[in-house]
Every structure is written in structure tokens, then in C-alpha cells.
Structure 1
Amino acid sequence: MNISFTKKQEEYINDQVASGEYQNNSEVIRDALRLHGIYRDKVIRDLRKEIEKGWDGPDSNLSMSQIIASKKSL
């Protein structure tokens, strides 16, 4: 497997290893992937909850255009 990083990402990885929190670059990447999985699962759970609230909530008298317009003005 070959992975490319930006200069800024490489610096961040190197800084994490230099801090002593990680022993090598691979540990930083593995931790980042683990945290990404946790974050992604939370986002999906949160979105599903919001969708369920919408399905289970009261019907709206607004048109889709009106709903979209009201969200754009926030």
C-alpha cells in the first residue's frame, strides 16, 4: 500500500511522534483511522436520529421550496 500525504500532514505526523505520544508514524495513522471510524459512526447515528425525528414528527404545511428558503436565511 502506498499513501501520499501533504507536507502539512507529514509535519503533523512527525510532530506527534516527536512528542513521544507515539513510537512511529504507523501508530499515528492507526490512531487517526480508529478515531475516524468512531467519528463516522457517530455522525451516521446522529443523522439517523434526525431522520427518525422527521419521519415521526408532524407533517408540515410548507412546500419543499419554502423549507429550503427558510434554512438558507439562517
Structure 2
Amino acid sequence: MNISFTKKQEEYISKQVDSGEYQNNSEVIRDALRLHQIYRHKVIADLRVEIEKGWNGPDSDISVDDIIASRKQAQ
């Protein structure tokens, strides 16, 4: 596997290793991927909760077009 990083990302990874918190670059990347996975699962779970609220909530008299129009007016 070949992975490319920006200069800024490489510097961040190096700083993490230099801090002593990680032994090498791979540990930094593995930790970042673990945290990303946790974050994605939380986002998906939160979205499912909100979708469930919508499905189980009361019907609305407001149309999608009304919602879009009100958002455009707010901008």
C-alpha cells in the first residue's frame, strides 16, 4: 500500500512521534484511523437517531419547496 501525505500532514505526524506519545509514524496513522472509525460510527448512529425522529414525528404542513425557499431567504 502506498499512501501520500501533504507536507503539513507529514509535519504533524513527525511532531506526534517527536512528542514521545507514539513510537513511529505507523502508530500515528493507526490511531488516526481508529479515531476516524469511531467518529464515523458516531455520525452514522446520530443520523439514524435523527432520521428515526423524523419518521416517527408528526406530519408537517411545510413542503420541501417551502423549506428551500426559507433557507434562500435567510441567506
Question: C-alpha distance in 1, partners of 2:62/2:33?
Answer: 42
Q: Determine the structure 2 residue equivalent to 1:33.
A: 33
TM-score (norm 2): 0.92
SS at match of 1:4: coil
Identical-pair percentage? 78
The gaps in structure 1 that reach 5 residues or longer are: none
Question: C-alpha distance in 2, partners of 1:44/1:32?
Answer: 18
1:54 corresponds to which letter in structure 2?
G
TM-score (norm 1): 0.93
Question: C-alpha distance in 2, partners of 1:40/1:52?
Answer: 18
Q: Determine the structure 1 residue equivalent to 2:70.
A: 70
Question: C-alpha distance in 1, partners of 2:69/2:9?
Answer: 38
The gaps in structure 2 that reach 5 residues or longer are: none
SS at match of 2:40: helix
Question: C-alpha distance in 2, partners of 1:15/1:50?
Answer: 38
- CA-CA distance at 1:57 after TM superposition: 0.4
Q: Determine the structure 1 residue equivalent to 2:47.
A: 47
Q: Say whether 1:8 aligns with 2:14.
A: no
- CA-CA distance at 1:17 after TM superposition: 0.1
Question: C-alpha distance in 1, partners of 2:71/2:48?
Answer: 20
Runs of 4 or more above 4 Å deviation: none
- CA-CA distance at 1:67 after TM superposition: 1.7
